[in-house]
Chains A and B, each alone.
Chain A
Amino acid sequence: MGDASRSMLARARSEIREWRPLEAEQQIAQDGELVVVDVREQHEWNDGHLPAALHVPRGFLELQIEEKVPDKTAPVLLYCAGGVRSLLAGQTLQQMGYRNVISMAGGYGAWTAAGLPTETPLRLSDAQRRRYSRHLLVPEVGEAGQAKLLQARVLLIGAGGLGSPAAYYLAAAGVGTLGLIDADVVDETNLQRQILHNTSRIGKPKVASAKETLSALNPDITVNAIEDRLTKANVLDLISQYDVILDGTDNFPTRYLLNDASIIANKPVVHGSVFRFEGQVTVFKPFEGPCYRCLFPAPPPPELAPNCAEAGVLGVLPGTVGLLQATEVIKLLLGIGEPLVGRLLMYDALAEEFNELRLFRRPDCPACGEHAHPEDLPTYEDVCAV
């Protein structure tokens, strides 16, 4: 360090308050207003940083700080690796009008030496940066959003018409763990719409076929193939391992089983159904919007149940509906946009028309109402299975 640097530093020290790491940690715990800003370079940040710190590299300080810390009266704790750059950065902030600037003496080095907690951000590899580059360019996703997706876990009930397009795009998007539960094998009649499977896989378990397709598309993700039915015995254990559930089932017993368990486990369910040329999508988010039982407290008796015969479906329709579901999943995982909570979206492919109905929570809902006991609700036999 030359004489000029030394005198600049001495001057900065006389103008900027300093805290040792232990004092800084106390202040962070006590003062909810305190903003912690890491002024180091990207590669230093990537190796670990203080929990809840903002990252504004010193080279971008003047350009970015007002956007990230608009309140110039808020206390701002700056730190770098050793406590020098943060002192100089503190002078810059003072010149910009920040009135309560503190620098952490000894910097990140002293913080870790004191054994204080740190966080290491999930780092995208170069290959991930390339693969997800179109996500990184979208501000609402960006690197942090992509990291969230890579750490997210989504369970798809059914690897069929709705599960196929949804899983395909969620895998492409880099949702890190996809669980697929389905007990069926691939049948020739599935291939008109269930695009995860193909002719050579007829007779193979659907979840194995799905895993093969999804892993080939994106080896970066984990696919849990669960060759089973959703039952009262496995539902809670299964859904509690995931963040969001995508419901692509076709029968009342599973819908109610999943609904009641999702209330207990507090997991959002993205619901979809299709029939010939029409489809429906909604998000059942426990305690924020209605659940399936708010709409239908119990399944209809057989004499009122809709016709159980194979209804037929336009092959592309589950593609449209499954992707609407996948879109809702991504929005829930990233916390962006307006999810379809309390809104039922109805799609008519022939009219090429979308309509929306408003759905409300029933205060007396047997699953999510005020005095509800979702754990005590009955399960049902499939009225169509007989």
Chain B
Amino acid sequence: MATLRIPPVLRPSVGGAKSVTAQGTTLGAALDDFFRRYSAVREQIIAADGSISNFVNVFVDDQDVRYLQGLATPLAPDATITLLPAMAGGES
């Protein structure tokens, strides 16, 4: 079971959870499992053509999946998936 870290800006879409678990042996399968429960998040992560959106970076453990195998990146049973959307959140 992979752990999915939810960034603050997406937490309202998942009932406020900081992390959720997801089933799947690849990143794509785990994300599908996640979207089945929280469909509103899908458009924030996946582009119209089915690939990972340009506006979010996805990491498996500490590695950017763009430099692994994208959605086909295999997941270890205890993998951590981190979603990193562009965040204006600074502090003026």
Contacts and interface: CB of A to CB of B under 8 A. Distances in A.
B22 to A, nearest CB: 18
B55 A272 contact: no
A251 interface: yes
- The B contact surface, by secondary structure, is mixed
A273 B89 contact: yes
A312 B85 CA distance: 18
A62 B68 CA distance: 56
A107 interface: no
Interface string A300-333: 1100111110010100001000000000000000
Interface in A310-362: 311, 313, 318, 344, 355-360
Contacts, number: 99
Interface stretch (B24-32, B56-64, B70-78): B56-64
B11 to A, nearest CB: 9
A248 B91 contact: yes
- The A contact surface, by secondary structure, is loop
B92 A306 contact: no
Interface residues of B, number: 25
A297 interface: yes
Interface in A214-258: 247-252, 255
B90 A300 contact: no
Given A357-B82, A360-B67, A251 B9 contact: no
Contact of A276 (B8, B67, B85, B88): B8
Contact of A160 (B59, B67, B89, B91): B91
Given A276-B8, A304-B43, A251 B63 contact: no
A273 B87 contact: yes
B85 A306 contact: yes
Nearest to A359: B64
Contacts of A255: 88, 90
B92 A252 contact: no
A48 interface: no
Contacts of B12: 307
B44 interface: yes
A354 to B, nearest CB: 12
A174 interface: no
Nearest to B8: A275
A357 B7 CA distance: 14
A299 B54 CA distance: 9
A191 B67 CA distance: 43
B4 to A, nearest CB: 14
A274 interface: yes
A60 interface: no
A273 B54 contact: no
Given A304-B44, A306-B85, A272 B9 contact: no
A182 B92 contact: yes
A295 interface: yes
Given A193-B91, A247-B90, A360-B66, 4 more contacts: A182-B92, A250-B90, A298-B54, A306-B87
8 contacts: A249-B90, A250-B90, A251-B90, A272-B90, A273-B87, A275-B8, A296-B54, A357-B64
Interface of A: 158, 160-162, 182, 184, 193, 247-252, 255, 272-276, 278, 280, 295-301, 304-308, 311, 313, 318, 344, 355-360, 384
Q: Which 7 A-B pairs have the closest CB atoms?
A: A161-B91, A250-B90, A306-B9, A275-B89, A300-B55, A296-B86, A250-B92
